[in-house]
Structure 1
Amino acid sequence: MTGGDGPKPDLRRSSDSKPLSWTERVEFGLYACLLPGLCYALLGTTDAVSIGPTAVMSLLTAEFAGGDPQLSVLLAFFTGVVVLTAGLVRLGFLVDFFSVPVVSGFVSAASITICSTQLKGLLGIKGSSGKTMIGTLRHVAGHIDETNLWDLLLGTTCILLLLGLRWLGQRAGSSGTSAGRRSPLATLQWLLSIARNALVVLLASLLVLALERHQLSPLSTTETVPVGFPAPQPPPFALLAVNGTREEAGLLQLTRQLGLGLLVVPLVSVIECMAIAKAFDVVIK
């Protein structure tokens, strides 16, 4: 996508570059994912969508940005510009042209992809597994002897707990059509069900904290995340390219580096929201 037969510039910083800014730190995504939910709570029109970084969008971003944090920021910015522009010019009717088989296929493929990417973490296997489902399965099969049984036990327990809390919600729903008509016990079950993801994360975090307080580290954990919020900055419209010499990469060069991602990522984000909304609509009906 860069055009021409010349050498393609490497848009990643070398080890002798200046210290990384917040746009080059991996953990900035943890802070950025909080803002969409807060904005959507004020401006959104439906609760049947997933706001924030999903597994499918994360995989696509890694594919087109090549794992570069700065390119990921730029791709996210242009994705927002494309989706916002489409909304302002009333292009929502184009979604109606996506047939049911297309949406169903996307949901099925997304489910399989998500399950395969989580398999390595469930087993506690280290190392990079590639960007495809086949690569992930090969990596898991080749390192199955490195499985961390404590990670597997915790992951399995969390899955069972999630399923159990969802069952509680379904049982509470059978006792009435709205929360006001339920008994206090059924209302409690319904609240536990809708908060099950947060509850499981909280309980698992408390477990890890308790183990570390006793100098025990049987579980795989993330690395230390620097404290404090970074100062807001504009997207990186120019990057330092390294090809033996230092030079500035212009905006046009960066967009060529992202290539079809400027169209594919916004399109998939819309399809993903539509698929989730339609799935919830079917459940509600």
Structure 2
Amino acid sequence: MASVVRQCCSYRTLKRRLPILAWLPQYSFQWLRMDLLAGVTVGLTVVPQALAYAEIAGLPVQYGLYSSFIGCFVYCFLGTSKDITLGPTAIMSLLVASYACHDPVYAVLLAFLCGCIQLTMGILHLGFLVDFISYPVIKGFTSSAALTIGFGQVKNILGLCDIPRQFFREVYYTFHNIAETRVGDLVLGLVCVFLLVLLKMMKNQLPERSGHQPFLNRVCSNIVRFTGTARNAVVVVAASLVAYSFESQDQHVFTLTGKAARGLPPFRLPSFSDSVSNGTVCFTEMLQNFGAGLAVVPLVGFLESIAIAKAFGSANILGSFLSSYPVTGSFGRTAVNSQTGVRSPAGGIATGVVVLLSLAFLTPLFFYIPKAALAAVIICAVSAVFDLRIVAVLWRVKRLDLLPFLASFLGCFWEIQYGILAGIALSGTILFFNIARPEIKISDYGTVIVQLQSGLNFPAVEYVCDQLYQRLLEASPPSSVILDCLHVSSIDYTTVNGLRELIQTFQRKKVCLLFSNFQPKILSILTSAEIEGLRHFDSTEAALRHLHGDDYTHNLEESEEPLLNRHEGFYS
């Protein structure tokens, strides 16, 4: 008992639980300089994105910022990767809009519950559950979400109001009301999209850093690189200045974000009830209203950041105390963090400070941010997620995988949980069919050699036995059979019973049935089952020698054709 306590309290265990102890002793001034640069750069990316993602979530813009800083601090202590940043993402914001009913009380409670679920899954190492969600299902969901999010911002580019959020109705009413487009919003939105794309292209076209470049070239390259990296902030600030200049002249050309609550959120427990016009919604009713969201939101968080489940679980729990909605790892901001040269998770502290300063001092200025500019930021952010090239890849690699992809992609336009469930169900059906119908290779040497090309589990036992009955016992005349079990790595009680019945049936028909290549653990299980008539050999050649003598296998070895390649067929 004392040794267990010492092991749990050892420095090695503590370092594993608090990864900051692994890199902090190596910290240097050079690391600090690079972390500050990367943290501030990511902060300039986070602030405009957070405001835009709050719009996707259907919440006041300050909630995007509330959700953007606590994860930075938590990950500094619990994170193992220097590059990853935690915060709101476009897909997570879409899920919040779907399950939180555009109500901040629901959104904050959802963060708390998701954090508890994710933390529990991380501690219990239940991340393997998401391994059952295949890549085509994930790509179908993310591509569908990107298209939903991107088209959802078209109304802000056009300056349209009162457009419903359900995707198909949103498409209909956007085109139905297109005549009401505000020219100012349209022009500003298109210009912002153009600038964002242009700045990204300029940054990508820059040559690699080199100390041999002239000083002026290095300065210009650094300016373009920084501007391209912080392009979201640059474009939003520029659009806000344009909007302010018109507003100061009392010309209401653009649709503006409007007032945002100033200052930091209070530190308090999330509310476990919600006040509505006709009464109070209790905690149980709120759970019922979340429905499938309590499963979908944590799982999507795992999919985006499976390696840091404990970190973002803690971030969601603590974030809910500061009015945050659910967060996860951001691919886009993680890329910015890495490209800027971050050296440790401490870069997140600088990012968090930038967000806190924005909340403390800049919220009055958010009033002048045009919605069209935020819509441009969102559209450019999710455009990289929308990738239908996978359709061509799946068509070339395995066309059957197109079914779960299309089920997930199309289903998510209707309801996110139905799309994901449909994709998982189809993937599972394909997987279970392959398990229940394993490929069988049959080679005829006078003695028939049957080789199972995959495992032999209980769903496949009856099928394999039926194939042997139909193709071998019912043949005229029936042949001796060697069942090669080289690829059988596990069996269960159903399999043992099936093999017992198979042996008995061959004995009644007076046909010889031998087994070869059992793995030691499989042979041990079958021996303990005391199956009467079980005859096993270490190799197929040994079984052939038992049936035909040494001369037979000697002739096979001298033959030009290798063993198991003559008169063979595949069945599945």
TM range (shorter): 0.7 to 0.9
Q: What is the CA distance between 1:96 and its match in structure 2?
A: 4.2
Q: Provide the C-alpha distance between the structure 1 equivalents of 2:93 and 2:201, rounded to a whole number of angstroms.
A: 29
1:154 has 2:210 as partner: no
Q: What is the CA distance between 1:276 and its match in structure 2?
A: 6.7
Q: Provide the C-alpha distance between the structure 1 equivalents of 2:125 and 2:210, rounded to a whole number of angstroms.
A: 36
Q: Provide the C-alpha distance between the structure 2 equivalents of 1:157 and 1:238, rounded to a whole number of angstroms.
A: 44
What RMSD over aligned residues (CA atoms) do the two structures have, in Å? 3.1
Which residues of structure 2 form unaligned runs of 5+? Answer: 1-58, 307-328, 340-572
Residue 144 of structure 2 aligns with which residue? 109
Q: Please say which structure displays the higher CA radius of gyration.
A: 2
**For each residue in 1:248-277, what CA deviation from the matched residue of structure 2 results, as whole angstroms up to 9, or x when unmatched?**
554333222212111111112232447975
Of 150, 161, 170 in structure 2, the residue corresponding to residue 126 of structure 1 is: 161
Of 60, 76, 89 in structure 2, the residue corresponding to residue 54 of structure 1 is: 89
Residue 77 of structure 1 aligns with which residue? 112
How many residues get paired? 251
Of 262, 265, 269 in structure 2, the residue corresponding to residue 234 of structure 1 is: 269
Residue 222 of structure 1 aligns with which residue? 257
- 2:301 maps to amino acid: S
TM-score normalised by structure 2 residue count: 0.40
Q: What is the CA distance between 1:130 and its match in structure 2?
A: 2.5
1:266 has 2:298 as partner: yes
Answer whether contact 2:246 2:252 (CA < 8 A) is retained.
yes
Answer whether contact 2:95 2:297 (CA < 8 A) is retained.
yes
Answer whether contact 1:50 1:273 (CA < 8 A) is retained.
no
Residue 289 of structure 2 aligns with which residue? 257
Larger deviation, residues 109-118 vs 249-258? 249-258
1:193 has 2:228 as partner: yes
SS of match in other structure, 1:227 = coil
Q: What is the CA distance between 1:76 and its match in structure 2?
A: 1.5
Q: Provide the C-alpha distance between the structure 2 equivalents of 1:81 and 1:229, rounded to a whole number of angstroms.
A: 24
SS of match in other structure, 1:33 = helix
Answer whether contact 2:71 2:87 (CA < 8 A) is retained.
yes
- 1:149 maps to amino acid: V
- 2:303 maps to amino acid: I
1:136 has 2:145 as partner: no
Answer whether contact 1:237 1:250 (CA < 8 A) is retained.
yes
Residue 475 of structure 2 aligns with which residue? none
TM-score normalised by structure 1 residue count: 0.75
Q: What is the CA distance between 1:105 and its match in structure 2?
A: 1.8
Q: Provide the C-alpha distance between the structure 2 equivalents of 1:198 and 1:37, rounded to a whole number of angstroms.
A: 20
Higher RCO structure, 1 or 2 (CA under 8 Å, sep 6+): 1
Q: Provide the C-alpha distance between the structure 2 equivalents of 1:75 and 1:180, rounded to a whole number of angstroms.
A: 50
Q: Provide the C-alpha distance between the structure 2 equivalents of 1:211 and 1:220, rounded to a whole number of angstroms.
A: 12
Answer whether contact 1:120 1:126 (CA < 8 A) is retained.
yes
Q: Provide the C-alpha distance between the structure 2 equivalents of 1:190 and 1:38, rounded to a whole number of angstroms.
A: 24
Q: What is the CA distance between 1:181 and its match in structure 2?
A: 7.5
Which residues of structure 1 form unaligned runs of 5+? Answer: 1-24
Q: Provide the C-alpha distance between the structure 2 equivalents of 1:88 and 1:181, rounded to a whole number of angstroms.
A: 50
